[in-house]
Amino acid sequence: MKSFYESQQINEKKLFELFKKADDIRANLKKYDKMLSGKIMATLFYEPSTRTRLSFETAMLKLGGKVISTENAREFSSAIKGESIEDTIRVISSYCDCIVMRHYEEGSALKASKISSIPIINAGDGKGQHPTQALLDAYTIFREIGRLEKIKIALVGDLLSGRTVRSLCYLLGKFSENEIIFVSPENLRMKDDIKQYLDKHKIIWGEEKDLQKILPKVDIIYITRIQKERMKKEDYEKARGKYVINEETLKLVRKETRIMHPLPHVEEIDLPIKIEQEDKRIVYFKQAENGLYIRMALLLELLK
Ligand code: CP
């Protein structure tokens, strides 16, 4: 694997190798602190980010490498002067050893990887994919539940714009007897390409409107934000507030179930900080932390 632009590129064996490496890095951080010494990673972000950009940058620094960055490339790179993504990538790839890129256009990471002489890592391409998020999501499920097969998971919220749920479906589709329940507002349903992929891989999936009915029945609740910035105002108003985890709905969740979210969360999670900190079912901050170790493992895979 030279570049990582979609989660389908990872097979089961590679996924578990990355998990093992991430566990080892977490336990023996010092052993890894010079492994990428002399390497430079560029972060090229055309859309906002907290977790993905900063965890990649931290990952590179903890591995002994260096980072160059443009955090608002849409405005503060020469894209504003009309430079094409191809030219941008050609130039940056002569300065460094890998590029972590978030772009507003679906397919941009694949396009960049075709022109690049160095690895491109897709940090989110429009409504397309967010494959490193899927790695950390799968890693979190494995750490919390102990398996990646026979998982019953509810994917909740904006399934039309949400690239994290798409990438996660591609990974879950590789393991047997998983069952996926899509819970979304009518106007933000999962697209057919993912449903067809799941059918092809004999993964049971269904759609459900009533979140309360689903909450007591699943191993994982993976809830997502309604992506206001990717839709018309009237679609947002129609969809917002339909599915919320709060103190009332949390009562319906079994003690073994885990609640995940790619973050940032807004009104779809309405819980006091004390509950978020103390309730073992809530793992979305652990999930974000897991991203650091899995991204360190991925950088080693691509650059070592
Ligand atoms: N989960 C995620 O991609 O978060 P950021 O947008 O903050 O990077």
- Regarding whether 163 and 118 lie in a shared domain, the answer is no
- Regarding whether 160 and 98 lie in a shared domain, the answer is no
CATH number at residue 124: 3.40.50.1370
- Regarding whether 184 and 149 lie in a shared domain, the answer is yes
**Separation between Cα atoms, residue 36 and residue 55, nearest integer Å:** 16
Any domain includes 14: yes
- Regarding whether 299 and 245 lie in a shared domain, the answer is no
Any domain includes 1: no
Res 86: pLDDT: 93
- Regarding whether 273 and 296 lie in a shared domain, the answer is no
- Regarding whether 175 and 62 lie in a shared domain, the answer is no
Q: What is the mean pLDDT of residues 39-44?
A: 98
- Regarding whether 210 and 101 lie in a shared domain, the answer is no
Q: What is the mean pLDDT of residues 262-268?
A: 96
- Regarding whether 227 and 90 lie in a shared domain, the answer is no
Q: Say whether 51 is catalytic.
A: yes
Q: Say whether 166 is catalytic.
A: no
Nearest atom in ligand 1 to the alpha carbon of residue 263 is: 1
- Residue with the bigger pLDDT between 112 and 1: it is 112
Task: State the distance from the centre of ligand 1 to the C-alpha of 136, rounded, in angstroms.
Answer: 12
Mutate to test the pocket of ligand 1, among 43, 46, 51 (most ligand atoms within 8 A of CB): 51
Which of 52, 132, 164, 257 is flagged as catalytic? Answer: 52
Does the pLDDT of residue 6 top 90, yes or no? yes
- Regarding whether 153 and 74 lie in a shared domain, the answer is no
Any domain includes 26: yes
Above pLDDT 70, what percent of the chain?
100
pLDDT digits (tens, 9 = 90+) for 70-121: 988 888 888 888 889 999 999 999 999 999 999 999 999 999 999 999 999 9
- Regarding whether 121 and 158 lie in a shared domain, the answer is no
> Is the torsion defined by CA of 241, 246, 249, 255 positive or negative?
positive
Any domain includes 2: no
Q: What is the mean pLDDT of residues 186-205?
A: 97
Task: State the distance from the centre of ligand 1 to the C-alpha of 111, rounded, in angstroms.
Answer: 22
Ligand 1 neighbours by CB, cut-off 6 Å: 49-52, 124, 130, 133, 262-264
Domain that holds residue 52: 7-129+290-303
179 φ, ψ (degrees, to nearest 5): -130, 125
Which residues, including other chains, have CB under 8 Å from residue 120's CB and lie 6 or more apart? 3, 4, 5, 89, 98, 99, 101, 109, 112, 113
| Residue 173 binned pLDDT confidence (cut-offs 50, 70, 90) | very high
Task: State the distance from the centre of ligand 1 to the C-alpha of 202, rounded, in angstroms.
Answer: 30
Res 119: pLDDT: 98
Number of domains in the chain: 2
- Regarding whether 43 and 93 lie in a shared domain, the answer is yes
Any domain includes 138: yes
Does the pLDDT of residue 231 top 90, yes or no? yes
